C-alpha cells in the first residue's frame, strides 16, 4: 500500500529501509524522502516504523 503519495513510497519499501538500519523518522526521511513534502504521511510512516521495530524486538532474544 502506498504510504507517501508525494514520493510514491509503499509500506514494503519503508519496512525494507527499517530492516536495513533506518530506525528513526529522520533516517527514513533522509533515505526515502517520506514526510518531506506535504507531511501528511508522517503519522502513517511512524505507525509502520513502530510496528516494524516491535516485530524486530520480538524476534531478538532477550538480553540477560
Ligand atoms: S504524502 Fe508523504 S510527503 Fe506528502
- State residue 60's pLDDT score: 79
- Give mean pLDDT, residues 44-64: 90
- State residue 63's pLDDT score: 65
- State residue 64's pLDDT score: 63
Closest by CA to 23, choosing from 2, 54, 1, is 54
For the chain, the domain total comes to 1
Q: How far apart are CA 44 and CA 24, in angstroms?
A: 14
Which CATH number fits the domain that encloses residue 14?
A: 1.10.10.1100
Phi and psi angles of residue 24, each rounded to the nearest 5 degrees, phi first = -135, 160
Q: Give the structural domain span for 52.
A: 2-59
The answer to whether the CB of 14 falls within 8 A of the CB of 32 is: yes
Q: Is residue 14 part of a domain?
A: yes
Residue whose CB lies within 8 A of the most ligand 1 atoms, among 9, 31, 38, 45, for a mutation test = 38
- The residue whose CA has the least distance to atom 1 of ligand 1 is 4
Q: What is the pLDDT of residues 4-40, one digit of tens each?
A: 999 999 999 999 999 999 999 999 999 999 999 999 9
- The residue whose CA has the least distance to atom 2 of ligand 1 is 4
Distance from residue 61's CA to the centre of ligand 1 (Å): 35
Q: Is residue 43 part of a domain?
A: yes
- State residue 30's pLDDT score: 98
Question: Is the pLDDT score of 62 beyond 90?
Answer: no
Q: Is residue 64 part of a domain?
A: no
Amino acid at each position: 500500500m502506498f504510504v507517501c503519495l508525494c514520493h510514491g513510497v509503499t509500506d514494503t519499501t519503508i519496512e525494507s529501509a527499517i530492516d536495513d538500519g533506518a530506525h528513526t523518522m529522520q533516517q527514513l526521511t533522509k533515505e526515502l524522502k517520506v514526510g518531506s513534502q506535504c507531511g501528511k504521511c508522517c503519522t502513517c510512516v511512524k505507525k509502520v516504523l513502530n510496528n516494524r521495530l516491535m516485530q524486530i524486538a520480538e524476534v531478538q532474544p532477550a538480553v540477560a
